[in-house]
């Protein structure tokens, strides 16, 4: 009874908390089914990023329609979404740690799809701001629950690759959003208004949100085909006490140095990444003789292809290091991504031509996106009953700083620092050249603490990795 109270299992209806008759963990699920789960979650994650990022290529029509500045627009892209994405994440993760993660995700997809549709219906800045807040609340259900589920579908030595494939939704969704937005801009230039039956004339950019919202129905149905997995890695009372993880707050405080360095370093990287996603298309069109449509298509393709490749590469490298005894292999992989990809990304805005800038973005995004294994590093040092919450806490910090401040910091440097829209390239350079090296330094300083955290955590699923696959 004491153990049940500690884990908060009383009254839970999730099949995942029901142990096997013998009290031992069941065999790992069939790998084919496990990868099917990854595929469905990847589809959901891709859709979430399409809904999240589609606004970033609608700068011109939205600014004109609502009569707002670059800074006001950046708040729609960043803070309106990020603030409520992060605030809602913690209580939703508490639910994910106790009840059906699958059902939570289904509800979240429905909410964010409806709010995306409402973005196209908004007739004022405040209305669009509120709709973006709703998108953030809906999307807050996905990743903490998904990471927790995948940790129960894959053993640690294969977890980085599984989460890397799931994380492809970030560049894939962002790339599709950018390319789709570019095509919408082209349509807007050809026909600023579209006439619909029973509706009349509406601005063309508003239809974009309807197109990206409706696939959410299909993804909801696919999510219902996923089974809630058995929860692995749940500690006994004695194991919690020996590891200093009697409760979630105690766990965070016990590992505050390793978690603090990870959160700080990853937040700085996220700030540069989200700032780049929001402003690189505008930088290309403002700096070089290239249209916003072509800028979005080229950058979207680079994001989708190179970002996906970088995530897979990061997962393979991290799993390889971890399997060979480097318990800090995931952090080493993040540092490697900064060392190789960082210089390309920093120098991109200074290139004298669009082809050269786009050429540097290819290796830049291929290697910098290897940092996606940071979320796997969190799972390694966290008991099962806290995994959704530690992921949500990470997103709270990283997205509040990265997504909330990234686009806005760059816009403020442009508006207040240079006072010239054409100086956007120097704003991108300034933020990157400060944030990326600082991130590498912080992560390096935190590596000894992270190794101690790995050694300190007693994971009851380690022995289950040897159980034959069902």
Each residue's pLDDT tens digit, 292-339: 778 878 888 898 899 889 988 998 999 899 888 888 899 999 999 999
pLDDT at 245: 53
pLDDT at 198: 64
Report if residue 330 sits inside a domain: yes
Is residue 404 over pLDDT 90? no
Residue 419 region by backbone torsions, left for phi larger than 0, else alpha for psi between -120 and 50, else beta: left
Report if residue 14 sits inside a domain: no
Q: Which of 182-186, 241-245, 356-360, 438-442 is the least confident region?
A: 241-245
Q: CB-side exposure of 159: number of CA atoms within 13 Å? A: 27
Q: What residue has token string 């995994």? A: 387
What is the per-residue DSSP string for 265-301?
HHHHHHHHHHHHHHHHHHHHHHHSS--HHHHHHHHHH
Q: How far apart are CA 175 and CA 56, in angstroms?
A: 11
Report if residue 134 sits inside a domain: yes
Average pLDDT over residues 414-418: 84
Report if residue 194 sits inside a domain: yes
Give the pLDDT confidence of 187-206 residue by residue, as tens digits.
Answer: 665 666 666 676 667 777 78
Is residue 271 over pLDDT 80? yes
Is residue 22 over pLDDT 70? no
Report if residue 5 sits inside a domain: no
pLDDT at 397: 85
Q: How far apart are CA 324 and CA 470, in angstroms?
A: 26
Report if residue 10 sits inside a domain: no
Give the CATH number of the domain where residue 178 resides.
1.20.1250.20
Residue 23 region by backbone torsions, left for phi larger than 0, else alpha for psi between -120 and 50, else beta: left
Q: How far apart are CA 14 and CA 271, in angstroms?
A: 36
Q: How many domains does the chain have?
A: 1
> What is the residue range of 349's domain?
33-459
Is 199 strand, coil or helix?
Answer: coil
Q: How far apart are CA 150 and CA 101, in angstroms?
A: 11
Distance from chain centroid for Cα 118: 22
Tokens of 176: 């599709």
pLDDT at 465: 39
What is the per-residue DSSP string for 109-173?
HHHHHHHHHHHHH--SHHHHHHHHHHHHHHHTTHHHHHHHHHHHHS-HHHHHHHHHHHHTHHHHH
pLDDT at 14: 39
Give the pLDDT confidence of 245-254 residue by residue, as tens digits.
Answer: 567 888 889 8
Report if residue 25 sits inside a domain: no
Give the pLDDT confidence of 80-102 residue by residue, as tens digits.
Answer: 887 788 788 888 888 888 888 99
For the chain, report the end-to-end CA distance as a whole number of angstroms: 30
Report if residue 8 sits inside a domain: no
Is 453 strand, coil or helix?
Answer: helix
Name the pLDDT band for 461 (thresholds 50, 70, 90): very low
Q: Whose CA is closest to 128, among 88, 180, 81?
A: 81
């Amino acid at each position: 009874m004491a153990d049940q109270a500690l884990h908060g299992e009383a009254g839970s209806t999730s099949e995942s908390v029901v142990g096997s008759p013998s009290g031992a963990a069941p065999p790992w699920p069939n790998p084919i089914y496990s990868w099917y789960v990854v595929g469905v979650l990847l589809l959901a994650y891709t859709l979430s990023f399409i809904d999240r990022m589609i606004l970033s290529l609608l700068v011109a029509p939205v600014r004109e329609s609502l009569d707002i500045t670059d800074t006001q627009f950046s708040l729609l892209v960043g803070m309106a979404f990020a603030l409520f994405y992060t605030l809602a994440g913690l209580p939703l993760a508490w639910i994910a740690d106790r009840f059906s993660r699958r059902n939570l995700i289904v509800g979240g997809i429905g909410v964010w799809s409806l709010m995306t549709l409402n973005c196209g219906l908004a007739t004022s800045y405040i209305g669009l701001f509120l709709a973006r807040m709703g998108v953030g609340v809906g999307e807050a259900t996905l990743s903490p629950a998904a990471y927790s589920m995948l940790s129960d579908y894959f053993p640690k030595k294969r977890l980085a690759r599984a989460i890397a494939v799931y994380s492809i939704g970030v560049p894939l969704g962002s790339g599709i959003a950018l390319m789709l937005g570019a095509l919408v801009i082209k349509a807007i230039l050809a026909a600023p208004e579209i006439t619909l039956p029973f509706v009349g004339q509406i601005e063309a950019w508003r239809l974009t949100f309807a197109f990206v919202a409706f696939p959410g129905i299909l993804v909801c149905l696919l999510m219902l085909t996923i089974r809630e997995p058995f929860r692995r890695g749940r500690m006994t009372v004695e194991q919690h006490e020996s590891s200093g993880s009697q409760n979630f707050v105690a766990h965070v405080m016990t590992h505050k140095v390793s978690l603090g360095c990870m959160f700080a370093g990853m937040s700085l990287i996220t700030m540069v990444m989200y700032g780049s996603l929001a402003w690189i298309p505008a930088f290309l069109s403002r700096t070089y003789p290239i249209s916003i449509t072509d800028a979005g298509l080229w950058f979207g393709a680079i994001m989708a292809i190179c970002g996906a490749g970088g995530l897979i590469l990061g997962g393979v490298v991290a799993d390889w290091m971890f399997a060979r005894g480097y318990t800090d292999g995931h952090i080493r992989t993040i540092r490697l991504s900064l060392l190789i990809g960082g210089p390309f990304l920093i120098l991109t805005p200074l290139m004298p031509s669009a082809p050269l800038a786009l050429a540097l973005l290819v290796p830049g995004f291929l290697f910098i996106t290897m940092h996606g294994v940071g979320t796997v590093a969190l799972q390694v040092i966290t008991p099962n009953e806290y995994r959704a919450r530690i992921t949500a806490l990470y997103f709270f910090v990283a997205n509040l700083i990265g997504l909330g401040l990234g686009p806005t910091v760059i816009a403020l440097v442009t508006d207040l620092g240079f006072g010239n829209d054409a100086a956007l390239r120097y704003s991108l350079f300034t933020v990157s050249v400060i944030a990326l090296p600082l991130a590498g330094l912080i992560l390096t300083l935190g590596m000894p603490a992270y190794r101690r955290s790995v050694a300190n955590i007693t994971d009851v699923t380690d022995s289950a990795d040897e159980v034959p696959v069902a």
